């Protein structure tokens, strides 16, 4: 097993210690698995909390900071965090204006965040929750009932985070997070399987010369397997799958996301093909983000996420953000 680790059992804790050393602007509780912006709770501000299994970095801990999340709860690799982590995070960021939980649609995450919301309410913390379910590849999958939550999580966290930073009340922050999710669709492609530290071998069998269309971020199966395709062919397939469902009549934000092991050289080349398809389909692109943001350990592959935006959503997207994984305007 060729991994830059000590032992599988300490991978998450070791990574959190490294995050703490690299980012003094964050408070990292390694034992309780909570990452919080150091100035939390911020007065007169709704707190944003998200989380999920580790292995998708920089999601979610890398998106903690001004203009985005106030706290994140990392679980074990591909495993939901537990309610105690979420309640601890909510208490750390609650300024009295309430807390928004941003939850990707995976069964463990949904159950645990729902339980945490009830426990937090018992402690006097007002909580609202928004479910992210943007993946158009499949309706039900190994980890979910309904669509999976993938790349749109970044759009929800960034835009809702910007509105919260302006001092908006909980109901407005929740509403805009829902609107972003409803305006977003994603589709992913795997060129290789990922390897979890605990297993030490690929999570599924993908023969040489084949790819999986519609893969999930935990290696869940997609729509179909095909012989290897060119970047141009993959872009045609992925973008058309998104547009079949989204059908935008306004400009979009485009996220061309790497799954963890795809070089930027390839991602930028793929982005050129994505932009070509969007242009051919008459879709105007307002902003584009290219890079590894919602990953699956060492999986080679990519995903495309589109979010239809109006002037308000675009303004909030452009608003300053200062996190380890996303930073501009400050």
What pLDDT score does 220 carry? 83
- Give yes or no for a contact between 56 and 295, defined as CB atoms under 8 angstroms apart: yes
* Whole-number Å distance between alpha carbons of 316 and 48: 15
Q: What's the mean pLDDT when you consider all of the chain?
A: 96
pLDDT of residue 146: 86
Q: Which two tokens stand for residue 259?
A: 């799954």
Say what the pLDDT of residue 54 is. 98
- Given a cut of 80, whether residue 322 has pLDDT beyond it is yes
Both tokens of 222, joined, read: 């997609």
Supply the pLDDT for residue 170: 98
Question: Among 59, 218, 238, 309, which one carries the catalytic annotation?
Answer: 218
Query: How confident is the model at residue 288, as a pLDDT?
Result: 98
Catalytic residue among 23, 37, 56, 60: 56
Give catalytic status of residue 218 as yes or no.
yes
| Average pLDDT of span 302-325 | 98
What is the mean pLDDT of the segment spanning 111-126? 98
Residue 221 binned pLDDT confidence (cut-offs 50, 70, 90): confident
Using a 10 angstrom Cβ sphere, with 0-12 exposed, 13-18 middle and 19 or more buried, the burial of residue 114 is: middle
Residue found under tokens 């795809």: 262
- Torsion-angle region of residue 291: left (phi > 0), alpha (psi -120 to 50) or beta? left
* Cβ atoms of residues 54 and 8 within 8 Å: no
The DSSP string of 201-240 is SBSS---TTEEEET--TTS---SEEEE---HHHHHHHHHH
Whether 220 contacts 53, CB under 8 Å: no
8 Å CB contact between 143 and 103: no
Q: How many residues does the chain have?
A: 330
First-to-last alpha carbon distance for the chain, in angstroms, is 41
Please tell me the predicted confidence (pLDDT) of residue 222.
83
Task: pLDDT band for 264, please (50, 70, 90 cuts).
Answer: very high
Least confident of 136-140, 193-197, 208-212: 136-140
- Please check the confidence at residue 330 and state whether its pLDDT lies above 90: no
Work out the burial of residue 266: count CB atoms within 10 Å of its CB; fewer than 13 is exposed, 13-18 middle, 19 or more buried.
middle
**69 phi, psi to nearest 5 deg:** -80, 150
Q: What is the pLDDT averaged over residues 282-308?
A: 98
In angstroms, the Cα distances linking 38 to 44, 85, 145, 167 are 16, 17, 36, 18
pLDDT of residue 108: 95
């Amino acid at each position: 097993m060729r991994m830059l680790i000590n032992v599988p059992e300490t991978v998450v804790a070791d990574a959190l210690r490294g995050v703490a050393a690299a980012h003094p602007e964050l408070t990292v509780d390694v034992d309780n698995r909570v990452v919080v912006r150091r100035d939390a709770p911020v007065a007169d501000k709704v707190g944003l909390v998200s989380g999920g299994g580790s292995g998708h970095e920089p999601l979610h801990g890398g998106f903690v900071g001004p203009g985005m999340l106030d706290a994140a709860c990392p679980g074990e690799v591909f495993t939901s965090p537990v309610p105690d982590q979420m309640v601890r995070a909510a208490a750390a960021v609650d300024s009295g204006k309430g807390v928004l939980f941003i939850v990707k649609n995976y069964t463990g995450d949904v159950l645990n965040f729902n339980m945490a919301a009830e426990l937090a309410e018992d402690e006097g913390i007002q909580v609202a929750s928004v479910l992210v379910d943007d993946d158009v590849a499949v309706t039900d999958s190994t980890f979910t009932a309904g669509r999976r939550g993938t790349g749109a999580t970044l759009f929800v966290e960034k835009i809702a985070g910007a509105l919260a930073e302006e001092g908006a009340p909980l109901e407005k922050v929740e509403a805009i997070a829902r609107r972003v999710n409803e305006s977003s669709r994603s589709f992913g492609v795997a060129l290789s399987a990922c390897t979890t530290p605990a297993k030490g071998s690929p999570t599924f069998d993908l023969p040489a010369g084949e790819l999986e269309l519609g893969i999930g971020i935990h290696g869940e199966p997609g729509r179909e397997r095909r012989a290897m395709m060119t970047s141009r062919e993959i872009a045609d397939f992925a973008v058309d799958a998104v547009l079949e469902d989204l059908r935008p009549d306004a400009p979009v934000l485009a996220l061309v996301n790497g799954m963890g092991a795809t070089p930027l050289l390839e991602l930028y080349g793929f982005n050129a093909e994505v932009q070509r398809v969007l242009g051919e389909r008459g879709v105007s692109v307002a902003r584009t983000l290219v890079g590894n943001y919602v990953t699956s350990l060492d999986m080679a592959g990519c995903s495309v996420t589109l979010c239809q935006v109006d002037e308000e959503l675009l303004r909030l997207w452009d608003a300053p953000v200062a996190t380890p994984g996303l930073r501009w305007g400050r």
